[in-house]
A and B are shown apart, each in its own frame.
Chain A
Amino acid sequence: MSALTNYVMTTKKKATLKRTTRRAAAAKRPQGRRAQNKAAIRKRIVTAALSLFQTKGFDATTTKAIARKAGIAEGTVFNYFRTKEDIALHFFEQEVDQAIAAVRDNPRLRKAPIEERLFALVHSQLEFLAPYEKFIGAAFIHALKPASPLGIFSHRAQELRHRYVGFVQELLDESMPKHRHSPLTFLAPEVFWIYYLGALLYWLHDSSPGKQNTLAFLDRSLSIGVSVLKQGKL
């Protein structure tokens, strides 16, 4: 991560925090019938697309095929998403939002140690992705291409990253008193994002039954990471 993105990240952090809370509030607000219909169609498109991404592959899937699968006109798809990359990004936004909500809304986790909360966050992301593992593998490669709209450096993906990093910062602030913050704590949320990408790669390669090794990896690496963070040095 460059110094520039770090700078952008820290200045954006507050805004991001507000945005995440607004989103959570929006989700709770009762919806009108029209909005409900729209949400249902959006969901249908995403489900159809994901199933095609998973079976046919991301590259081979066209918006036409998605429309057919969802049982709607191709034009309707464009009312919701400009491209199939948009659909994929929407899916990743859902992944992050539901994971944040899973940790934030779980009363049991409120008093849990930071390593458990971070574990719950990543685990809930992976659980969300699990049915589409094949597609995630392809998307991962896509995401590393600099020009790809799915790429980790694309504008929308950056925004998603800020939301995620902001939440990790929130978790850290809650469980570690400010005065004990070290330069490592300052970097930690950004590093955690990279850690998550590593964990995702590990998970994709994990052939153990029930992805046992990923659970062990998350547990053990998080306990090391948090311990290093608390000591304030490597």
Chain B
Amino acid sequence: MSSQKNTATGRAFSMASMGAGIAGSYFGYLLQRVFLGEAKGKLKLKSTHVRAARRMADEMQALRGPAMKLGQMLSLQTGVLPDEILAELATLQMEAPGMHPSLVRAQVKGSLGREPEEIFKEFTSKPFAAASLGQVHHAITREGRHVAVKIQYPGIRRAIENDFSLFRTFSKPAQASGHIRKSAIDEIEEQIVAETDYLREADNIEFLADRLAPLSFVKAPRVFREYSSDKVLTMSLMTGRHLEDFLAQRPSQKVRNQMGAHLFELFHFQVYEVEALHADPHWGNYLFNDDAGISLVDFGCVKYLSHEAAAYLRSVCLYPGSTGSAHFRRLLETYYEQVGEKLLPGARRALINFAENFYRKVYPPKPDKDQLFDFSDAIFLRDFLRESKNLFRTKGVITEFIFMGRAEMGLYQTLHRLKARVPTSQIVKKIFEETQVH
């Protein structure tokens, strides 16, 4: 099989058995859902936007998954979707088909060797949440602990790999013309495939739980390794409300500001201090508590940054001088050289414009003591998307930042929905000061 691995057609042949077309494609599953009309009732687009745009987003939602993520990138470049919708897409989840109890049992037994009822004292066969590529069930361990058991839809990894190999073949012309970079497809595939390994996710949880300990307002689950495998992940049950329910309670401006500040600090603390971040901004992954605490769930997509990348971001964020200066230009060029990319003049202009038209506004380099950025006005979101698009168009996006960029877009979208006012630069400065030693 490995000899055929390099071509998608070879891959398709290597699947050999006749059912491969049905079970061997994630994209096929998504089409199946549309065809069977299963997706309709489940569509939930949670904000107030123009009706026509919403309908368009509904169509896009039907394509959740890797296809959606790729679509997201491509639409950034081509500008076919309204900005608000793009921002919403960033927060969508990769879904998998729902599993009936018999399939859940078969999957758990195949993965852990025993049926869920034999493993746990109690196991609820109806899932309480959808997770990336699977679903989550409530259970009670023999020791009496309430846990969340995340179960992956069978065969999803292979299905995703098959889709990617096909996508690579179809997008050859776009790759040749430089519109889609091979390294970008590699990066996306690597991250998405990594999400299918729940043992890796368990590592992510333990890593981030440890490194985020200084942030007292953040809670991460505990992993139960004895009841976990690459397809089943058992964690302590997290409490809190989803963004929707949190907002439905009409929290005061003060509470929203506090929550916004916490989300903002969490993001930047991860980038600059942890050098790794929870990079799936889907709203279901954040639970809000009444004390403005944040519980994190679903650590499938954690992006680990290189030390150089974090140092570079630190040097350009809150850059005190002029963005038109030769020094700032050198900072950009040096980093691009470091990662083996050539910074084309167009991309350089796009980066400087990005810094000037977005970051300078949201993160003023010399903030007043009581500086607050108001995220309720959607203009900043449009600025962000416009400048992102320019950067894509001029081929200036560094592969390593693709997932961080999506997480950043998700953060801004959430802050916008919270209508939070956040001391942005003060928070970043505080993190810089506290972590200077690194």
Contacts and interface: CB of A to CB of B under 8 A. Distances in A.
A113 B100 contact: yes
Nearest to B107: A215
Contacts of A119: 100, 102-103
B336 to A, nearest CB: 41
Interface string B86-115: 000000000001011111001100110000
A31 to B, nearest CB: 29
B159 A109 contact: no
A119 B158 CA distance: 21
Contact of B22 (A120, A211, A217): A217
B396 interface: no
Interface in A185-234: 198-199, 201-202, 205-206, 208, 210-217, 219-221, 223-224, 227
A201 B16 CA distance: 11
Q: How many interface residues does chain A have, given as a range?
A: 20 to 34
A201 B53 CA distance: 46
Contacts of B111: 210
B154 A224 contact: no
A192 B168 CA distance: 37
A55 B153 CA distance: 33
B373 interface: no
Given A205-B16, A205-B17, A224-B32, A213 B23 contact: yes
Contact of A223 (B18, B19, B36): B36
Contact of A213 (B24, B103, B231): B24
A198 B110 contact: no
A67 to B, nearest CB: 35
Contacts of B23: 213-214, 216-217, 220-221
Nearest to A219: B103
A14 interface: no
A123 interface: yes
B246 interface: no
Nearest to A117: B102
A112 B101 contact: yes
Contacts of A112: 100-102
A222 to B, nearest CB: 10
B100 A227 contact: no
Contacts of B99: 219
B155 A208 contact: yes
Contacts of B158: 208, 212-213
Contacts of A86: none
Nearest to A227: B36
Contacts of B156: 216
A198 B19 contact: yes
Contacts, number: 83
A100 to B, nearest CB: 15
Nearest to B111: A210
A213 B155 contact: yes
A211 B32 contact: no
A120 B154 contact: no
B312 interface: no
A34 to B, nearest CB: 36
Contacts of A213: 23-24, 154-155, 158
A198 B18 contact: yes
A227 B111 CA distance: 29
A95 interface: no
A220 B202 CA distance: 28
A217 B36 contact: no
Contacts of A227: 36
Contacts of A206: 17
Contact of A108 (B32, B101, B107, B154): B101
B110 A220 contact: no
B29 interface: yes
Given A205-B16, A208-B155, A215 B110 contact: yes
Contacts of A221: 19, 22-23
Given A208-B155, A217-B19, A217-B22, A224 B103 contact: no
25 contacts: A108-B125, A109-B102, A112-B100, A116-B101, A119-B102, A119-B103, A123-B106, A201-B17, A202-B19, A210-B110, A212-B155, A212-B158, A213-B23, A215-B103, A215-B106, A215-B155, A216-B156, A216-B159, A219-B97, A219-B100, A220-B22, A220-B32, A221-B23, A223-B36, A224-B22
Given A115-B100, A208-B155, A210-B231, 9 more contacts: A112-B102, A119-B103, A123-B102, A198-B19, A201-B17, A215-B110, A219-B97, A219-B154, A220-B22
